[in-house]
Structures are given as C-alpha cells and as structure tokens.
Amino acid sequence: MNTRLITSIFFIAIVFASCKKDDFGYLTQSHPDVPVTVDNVFGVYNGVPTVQTSLSGGGVITIKLSIPSSTGRTIKEITRVGIHTTPNGGYATVRTTTGLYNTAPIPGSGTSVTFTTSLTEFTGKTGIAVTTSGTATSFLSRYFYFLITLDNGQEVIPVPVRVYVNT
C-alpha cells in the first residue's frame, strides 16, 4: 500500500513538473528589450503611465518618451501611433497600417522622442468630444500606443500612455 501511494505521488509530481506555463496574452505584460519611459509622467494609474493636459491651457497633449543611454541605442523615430479603448488591447493596433492615429514618422533626437497632439485633434480623429469635470474620471477614453524604431531597426512597443484632462 505505501509503495503504491509513493509511486502515485512520484508520478503526479513528474506530470506537474513537466507542465509548461502558457502566456495568456492580455494577462502577460510586455517587457521590451530596450525599456521606454515616459519622461513627463503625471502619475501611474493601474500600471499605465499617464500624462496631463488641461482644457483651460489649450488642450495640448505632449508625451515625451526616452530610452536609457546605457543601451547604446538611439531612437530613430516613432513609426506609428495607435489608440485603443483598453490598456492591453492596442498592441496590435500599431502593427497595422490602417486605422492609426498618426501615420507620419516622428523623428527621434538621441535617446528621446516627443509626440504632440491636441484635444481638438483627438476629437477630430476619433469623433469623441472631450469634456471634463476635473475628477478622477477625467481621462481620455483611449490609450495611446507607440511603435518606436531604434537606430538599428529594432522595433519597440512600450506600455500604452493615458491622458488625464484637467479643467
């Protein structure tokens, strides 16, 4: 009896030890080889870096992205800008060539690059009117996704960036 129990436990342990962990897509975070940070971050909400703009200040949205100089790489350009309604669903949007927020490459400068748009342009491109009450729910309803091309041709898609709209 003890031999059967020990053999069964041993067999079960082998089966579980040989299992491979599957990635669950939207549940698995993306960590690029070359990390990208948001230099003008206002805060991080639910793991998403957030920048700020204001209606009274003209509604200019500026997102400053950079990579560490220790990587030995420089940013050639932001190749594409996409938008999506969720913080994990838009990674594929910047891999496509249609339905993008911005298709014109934005040249980098060394280890940084700046993306600039406005609330007026956002409304024009999405059809979503921007209103705010100056509360915690005053975020744009879309996340910005970036496809960044480095000087060696490597493409990096960092985590998305969200925009908080102040009054």
Query: Which domains, and CATH codes, for the chain?
Result: 32-166 (2.60.40.10)
The predicted-structure confidence for 134-164, as pLDDT tens digits, reads as follows 566 688 989 999 999 999 999 999 999 999 9
Query: What are the tens digits of pLDDT across the range 71-126?
Result: 999 999 999 999 999 888 888 888 888 889 998 999 999 999 999 999 999 999 99
Q: What is the DSSP letter of 47?
A: T
- Tokens found for residue 104: 């014109």
pLDDT digits (tens, 9 = 90+) for 7-57: 656 555 555 555 554 444 444 555 667 899 999 999 998 889 999 998 888
DSSP 22: P
The candidate with the shortest Cα–Cα distance to 85, out of 99, 97, 66, is 99
The per-residue pLDDT for range 57-69, each reduced to its tens digit, is 889 999 999 999 9
